[in-house]
């Protein structure tokens, strides 16, 4: 994987390569394995390499055989064998170890404008077609790889990192007020195409952007299937198909060197560990798992216990970080914890230490179980909707299939369909009163608050969660620190997601299909362990059990003019005194302004006045 940058002067002026070198310099810590800048008239591309293995497919810069189509790509293409067969059938000469970027170029040359429908994997790239003088930028289906861009006068610029774009003098660092408010309220942005900066945009997932000298167009090249359906006669067939796809999803993401992975005591990360250990039986010493726990703050927290059990069973090394060792916002003024965008995570120092340890082992890839909850979230309305819409034949067939698969009528939601419960308002905390009134009016604060919670409440099933606008922010959070480590997410494998979206609810409930696939591969106590939330809020424990001075420091500072200072510090004092509901949402709300102002300090060196 790599960091990319590029410039297109739409007025036709030649690109100065020095600007690309400056952009790459700001990303070198993430991609330290060499860089390359190529300019040709009004177009310039830069590429900084993060080598995750020794394969020839790692090469990031490619030129097509006719030397008229060229590319810079942060890409890892899945299903390579199938794609190469398609390309050869279309008359393209492609080697088995062709770089990922070359496969993208060859797909464009073979399939034209429809080439994106042939690509799966994690990718963000820009492709220049000299023949038609157009630049095509695209991002993968779920937004795993980042892509930011800006139009600054006649120059269109793009980069993997926000800071790289700020290296261009014409790009303003003025903040996007709507994004700031979204961050303060939700920790993420409601607009998938926005960034924290007014002028810099984020290319949404599954989106292509085409730039010419006269115009630009943006289009979705893929939509998540809403009513996919896969039915087998036997329950075991679902498990067998899932097991095959899941192994492919994990193995396609394994580097050919040291392997690092996040490990908790739940099913998602432990399943990835089981497949990885099974695949690398002869070199388990190259696998290191990392877990972050709260045991010293919350003695009832059992995540480390179950993670240790799995690591011992699989014979892999486990490194544990306990949040109790860290103060809130520890080290956030240091360069190592400076981030391109704000993040609501008071324990960023613990994340930094984990990534630093990963890098020290020689690993460049961190496997994550993130996404398991989303892709295996069953629909509570499938059977009732069939009945209410009068599709009785289909309903009867689905009921019969459910009973054959489970041996009962339970779990179909029929009781709520026949006797709908009295509607109750969805839970949400009260709108905070400490946003500056003038800012609140400019962004229509109440409407934005209600819209954000409506989006949140829509995530009741896999489709709802996978289409939320802040989905890609989770991927960016893992790589927000400038460390040479890239995240990979087997549960976001497109082939696996499309399969899971189509299988019946009874195979998704309590992640049945995953638990059954892990039979004999994980300890039974882990395999049957129910989904378990933290037994408390570690941040609340820290602020109520310790004599913290950070609220006092902030009271004496020039706090952001975006907030009503007095009202905010009353709310902060109440929180530190243990008042109010104990929920992660309330914690996020009260912590976000401190996280935002800490980020501003790290960017400017002074408190905002």
Residue 206 and residue 449 in contact, taking contact as beta carbons nearer than 8 Å: no
- What's the gap between Cα 585 and its chain centre? 20
Residue 208 and residue 484 in contact, taking contact as beta carbons nearer than 8 Å: no
412 or 596, higher pLDDT: 596
Helix axes 80-89, 100-111, angle to 10 degrees: 40
pLDDT interval class at 578 (50, 70, 90): confident
- Tell me: pLDDT of 606 over 50: no
| Three-state DSSP class for residue 57 | helix
- Tell me: pLDDT of 255 over 50: yes
Task: Provide the 10 A C-beta neighbour count for residue 573.
Answer: 12
Helix axes 177-186, 445-457, angle to 10 degrees: 50
pLDDT at 555: 67
Q: Range with the lowest mean pLDDT among 86-100, 120-134, 538-552?
A: 538-552
End-to-end CA distance of the chain: give it in Å, rounded: 40
The label of the residue with tokens 């996919």 reads 228
β-pairing, 259-262 vs 287-293, is: parallel
Burial class (CB in 10 A: 0-12, 13-18, 19+), 234: exposed
Distance from C-alpha of 407 to C-alpha of 401, rounded to nearest angstrom: 10
Q: 120: closest CA among 86, 70, 69, 157?
A: 86
Token digits of residue 534: 């933290």
Query: Average pLDDT over the chain, rounded to whole?
Result: 90
Q: What is the pLDDT of residues 531-546, one digit of tens each?
A: 888 888 888 888 877 7
- Tell me: pLDDT of 476 over 80: yes
Residues sharing a CB contact under 8 Å with residue 501, sequence separation 6 or more, in sequence order: 224, 225, 228, 375, 462, 463
Its pTM stands at: 0.94
Distance from C-alpha of 263 to C-alpha of 479, rounded to nearest angstrom: 17
* 529-284-308 Cα angle (round to 5): 30
Under DSSP, the state recorded for 198 is S
Q: What is the pLDDT of residues 4-60, one digit of tens each?
A: 999 999 999 999 999 999 999 999 999 999 999 999 999 999 999 999 876 666 665
Most confident of the following: 79-93, 373-387, 584-598? 79-93
Under DSSP, the state recorded for 20 is H
- For the chain, domains (ranges, CATH) are 2-220 (3.60.20.10), 235-375+470-527 (3.40.50.620), 382-461 (no CATH), 538-604 (no CATH)
Cα torsion angle, 449, 165, 174, 212, sign: negative
Q: What is the pLDDT of residues 277-320, one digit of tens each?
A: 999 876 767 899 999 999 999 999 999 999 999 999 999 999 99
Most confident of the following: 193-197, 345-349, 459-463? 193-197
- Tell me: pLDDT of 389 over 80: no
Token digits of residue 298: 């919350």
pLDDT interval class at 100 (50, 70, 90): very high
β-pairing, 61-63 vs 155-159, is: unpaired
What percentage of the chain carries pLDDT values higher than 90?
70
- Tell me: pLDDT of 609 over 60: no
Residue 95 and residue 142 in contact, taking contact as beta carbons nearer than 8 Å: no
Token digits of residue 462: 């896999």
Q: What is the pLDDT of residues 323-379, one digit of tens each?
A: 999 988 887 767 889 999 999 999 999 999 999 999 999 999 999 999 999 999 988
Return phi, psi of residue 266, to 5°: -90, 180
Q: What is the pLDDT of residues 137-147, one digit of tens each?
A: 999 999 999 99
Task: Give the helix/strand (H/E) hosting 270.
Answer: helix 267-279
- Tell me: pLDDT of 428 over 90: no
pLDDT at 573: 86
């Amino acid at each position: 994987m790599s960091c990319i940058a590029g410039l297109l002067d739409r007025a036709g002026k030649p690109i100065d390569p020095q600007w690309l070198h400056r952009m790459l310099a700001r990303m070198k810590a993430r991609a330290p394995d060499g860089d390359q800048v190529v300019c040709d008239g009004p177009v310039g591309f830069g590429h900084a390499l993060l080598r995750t293995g020794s394969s020839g497919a790692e090469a990031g810069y490619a030129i097509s055989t006719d030397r008229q189509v060229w590319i810079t790509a942060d890409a890892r293409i899945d299903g390579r064998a199938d794609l190469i067969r398609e390309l050869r059938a279309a008359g393209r000469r492609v080697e088995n170890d062709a770089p990922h970027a070359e496969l993208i170029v060859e797909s464009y040359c073979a399939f034209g404008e429809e080439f994106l429908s042939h690509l799966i994997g994690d990718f963000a790239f820009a492709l220049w077609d000299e023949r038609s003088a157009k630049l095509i930028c695209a991002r993968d289906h779920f937004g795993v790889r980042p892509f930011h861009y800006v139009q600054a006068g006649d120059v269109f610029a793009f980069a993997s990192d926000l800071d790289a774009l700020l290296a261009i003098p014409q790009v303003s660092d003025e903040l996007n007020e709507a994004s700031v408010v979204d961050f303060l309220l939700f920790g993420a942005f409601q607009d998938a195409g926005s960034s924290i900066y007014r002028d810099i945009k984020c290319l949404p997932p599954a989106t292509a952007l085409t730039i010419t000298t006269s115009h630009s167009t943006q289009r979705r090249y893929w939509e998540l299937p809403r009513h996919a359906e896969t039915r087998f006669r036997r329950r075991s067939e679902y498990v067998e198909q899932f097991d095959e796809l899941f192994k492919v999803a994990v193995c396609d993401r394994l580097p050919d060197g040291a392997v690092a992975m996040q490990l908790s005591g739940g099913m998602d990360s432990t399943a990835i560990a089981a497949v990885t250990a099974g695949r690398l039986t002869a070199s388990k010493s190259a696998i290191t798992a990392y877990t972050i726990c709260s045991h010293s703050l919350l003695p009832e927290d059992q995540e480390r216990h179950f993670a240790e059990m799995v690591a011992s069973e699989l014979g892999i090394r486990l490194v544990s970080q306990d949040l109790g060792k860290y103060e809130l916002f520890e080290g956030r003024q240091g360069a190592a914890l400076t981030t391109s965008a704000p993040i609501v995570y008071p324990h960023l120092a613990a994340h930094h230490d984990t990534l630093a340890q990963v890098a020290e082992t020689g690993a460049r890839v961190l496997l994550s179980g993130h996404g398991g909850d989303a892709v295996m979230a069953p629909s509570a309305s499938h059977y009732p909707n069939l009945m209410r819409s009068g599709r009785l034949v289909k309903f009867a067939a689905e009921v019969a299939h459910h009973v054959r698969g489970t041996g009962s009528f339970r779990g179909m939601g029929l009781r709520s369909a026949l006797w709908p419960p009295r509607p109750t308002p969805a839970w949400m905390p009260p709108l905070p009163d400490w946003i500056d009134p003038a800012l609140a009016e400019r962004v229509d604060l109440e409407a934005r608050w209600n819209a954000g919670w409506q989006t949140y409440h829509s995530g009741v099933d896999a489709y709802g969660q996978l289409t939320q606008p802040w989905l890609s922010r989770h991927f960016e959070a893992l790589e927000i620190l400038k460390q040479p480590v890239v995240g990979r997410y087997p549960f976001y494998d497109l082939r696996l997601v499309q399969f899971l979206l189509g299988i019946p609810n009874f195979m998704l409930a309590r992640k049945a299909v995953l638990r059954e696939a892990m039979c004999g591969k994980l300890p039974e106590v882990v395999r049957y362990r129910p989904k378990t939330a933290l037994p408390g809020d570690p941040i609340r424990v820290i602020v109520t059990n310790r004599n913290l001075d950070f609220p006092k420091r902030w009271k004496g500072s020039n706090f952001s003019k975006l907030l009503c200072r007095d009202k905010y510090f009353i709310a902060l004092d109440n929180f530190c005194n243990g008042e109010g509901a104990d929920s992660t949402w309330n914690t996020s709300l009260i912590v976000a302004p401190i996280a935002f102002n800490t980020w501003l300090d790290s960017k400017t060196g002074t408190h905002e006045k």
